[in-house]
Amino acid sequence: MADESTIDYSVFDTSNLQVTKILIHPIKSCKGTSVQEAKYTLQGLEHDRKWCVIRADNHVVVTARQVGKIVLIHPRIVTDPSVPGGGRLEVAFPEDSGCETFSLPLNPSRDTFEKWESVDDVELWDQNDIQGHICETASGRSPSTILSEYIGYPVHLVVKGPRVRISPPTLRFPKLDTPAYFQDGYPLMLLSEESMVAVQERIRDMVGTVGISDKWAEEELKVERFRPNIVFKGAGAPFVEDVVTELRISSDKEAGADGTTGIVRLVSKCVRCLLPNVDPATGVRDAAVPYKVIMKFRRGLDPERMGLPCVGSNGIFMGEGVVKVGDWVHVRKMGFV
């Protein structure tokens, strides 16, 4: 296992880190949206994983791990201050699916929640007490009916209910008390462009082995496969996110600023499953990429799951604010995440 004593911090340049991409995924496992800026709270980026699809029979969350083509569903946030809730969520499907677009209030009111059926046992990663509300539309077929037709078995679309869901503690942070929507565990995931380059290079080195097809000699591995929230660059070496424990994201190049605005604490490595093997453009799962590749050189990094690979790090915001593409990432503390 790697540890802090083995890290060569001198390979990283932490003086010129900048945000290059911000991704919001309104419905868990569905298509993400690249935005130029986003509000954030303790629960993460505004509207990120605020909705999810659950099985109708047992209320387990449905993800691209089970249904690859769910990544082709396109939820789009449409802001409109003139309407109740400040806008709507428009949900569209591939043209050849036969499923029609529907829309929902972006911020359902308390009255709306009372009208929609409550589900108090949404299950995600063995946590089965998450509260949600089954979404309904004012006219036309219900979201549940449309999504069930697309996925192939009965499901519901639920929005996170007001009851707080707390992220699980980690071995390094046993007293975490941070809220989350339907993220796998933590409100935020960060990934550097240099890390993506390192994975891409390793894929090309392994073409022709462990089932990696020849197409990967040329094909680019899109960062969207890893579903990060904030992508940044400038460290000059891969996996700087492994060794930063606290940072501040700010529009000012100078660190400055007091208080909690912009502060992110990285709390764990992001352990990976087969979901990144699903191509976000086609919904088709690759037999080897990137999972078999990262299994070769990114294991032994998470003390609780030593046999699984890690790419990116999970974080929590310490306050509220706005993050923008082009913002500076100021490293405040380093150590082994």
Per-residue pLDDT tens digits for 254-312: 876 566 789 999 999 999 999 999 999 999 999 999 999 999 999 999 988 999 999 99
Give yes or no for residue 36 having a pLDDT over 90.
yes
* The pLDDT of residue 1: 46
* The pLDDT of residue 3: 56
* The pLDDT of residue 72: 98
The 10s digit of each residue's pLDDT in 85-106 is: 899 999 999 999 999 999 999 9
Give yes or no for residue 242 having a pLDDT over 90.
yes
Mean pLDDT on 309-337: 95
Region of 193 (left: φ > 0; alpha: ψ -120 to 50; beta: rest) is alpha
Mean pLDDT on 13-19: 95
Find the domain containing 28 and state its range. Answer: 4-334
What percentage of the chain carries pLDDT values higher than 70?
Answer: 97
Output the domain CATH number for residue 236.
Answer: 2.40.33.20
pTM for the structure as a whole: 0.95
Give the count of domains, the chain.
1
Mean pLDDT on 207-229: 97
* The pLDDT of residue 102: 97
